[in-house]
Amino acid sequence: MASIKCASCGSEFTLNQNHPYHAGFSQLGFLYCDKDTTVVSWNDIADNVYRRLAGNKAPWALTAEEQETVENALKGCPCGGRFKFRNPLRCPRCKAVMKEGISEESIYLYILGVWIDGESTNIWK
Ligand SMILES: [Zn+2]
Ligand SMILES: [Zn+2]
């Protein structure tokens, strides 16, 4: 199992995956929750709802307005938080930013807590 270390408090956490997924190669869009480490993901190519909302655009290529459309169409996190493009992955212990959310430069999906996989469950309202 891979792990991730918080640069701020030094805590190390085990990831729920063997290695961070490269969202570009696996055609994944993903957003972190604004309250915990839950991450939601979907397949950019195969997800019909995403395609209807965003066309053929990759998640990191969307305009702010298009991002909001996608965010508003997503179900909330079970914890009560919201999935947003600008949410980074925060340290569960000290809340410092560990990884930025999805962008062209920051394209790896880290699964630290719960992973809501849009390919096996309905993530849309
Ligand atoms: Zn920390
Ligand atoms: Zn949450």
Average pLDDT over residues 96-125: 92
- Does residue 37 form part of some domain? yes
- Does residue 35 form part of some domain? yes
Range of the structural domain that residue 55 is part of: 3-117
pTM equals 0.93
- Does residue 122 form part of some domain? no
Ligand whose nearest atom lies closest to the CA of 37: 2
Please count the other Cβ atoms lying within 10 Å of the Cβ belonging to residue 83: 23
Tokens encoding 69: 């459309």
- Does residue 92 form part of some domain? yes
Ion ligand 1 residue ranges (Cβ < 5 Å): 6, 8-9, 11, 91, 93-94, 96
Ligand whose nearest atom lies closest to the CA of 87: 2
The answer, yes or no, to whether residue 105 has pLDDT greater than 80, is: no
Q: What's the structural domain count of the chain? A: 1
- Does residue 125 form part of some domain? no
> Poorest-confidence range of 6-10, 24-28, 98-102, 121-125?
24-28
- Does residue 123 form part of some domain? no
Ion ligand 2 residue ranges (Cβ < 5 Å): 33, 35-36, 38, 77, 79, 81
